[in-house]
Amino acid sequence: MKILFYIAIILTFNVQAEESGCKSIQDNDKKNYCYATETNQKSFCYTIGEQDLKNLCMAQLKNQKSFCYKIFSTETQKICLKSIK
C-alpha cells in the first residue's frame, strides 16, 4: 500500500514539472502545443493560431497522417509524417 502512495506522489511531481516547463514558454502557440502534447488534450491544439503547428498538434494527438498533409511547410510536414506511425 505504501508503494502505491509513493508512486502516486512521484507521478504528481512529474506532471507538475512537465506542466511548469510549458508555463515558462513565452510564445502562446508553442505553449499550447506543449500543454496539448504533455496532457494529451486536443483542446489545447484548437487554441493554436498558427495553422502548421495546429495541424502538427492534431496529427500527433489523433495519430492521423491526414493532418500532416494540411501542413504547408515541407520540413514540418516531413517531421509530422515521421512522427505518426
The domain tally of the chain equals: 1
* 3-19 tens-digit pLDDT: 444 444 444 444 544 55
- Give the C-alpha separation, 31 to 33, whole Å: 5
**Cα dihedral: 61, 27, 47, 53 (round 10):** -50
The domain containing residue 14 runs over which residues? 2-83
Global pTM reads: 0.75
Q: What is the pLDDT of residue 85?
A: 79
Read off the amino acid at residue 65: K
Looking at residues 34-42, what average pLDDT do you find?
Answer: 94
**pLDDT tens string 44-84:** 999 999 999 999 999 999 999 999 999 999 999 999 999 98
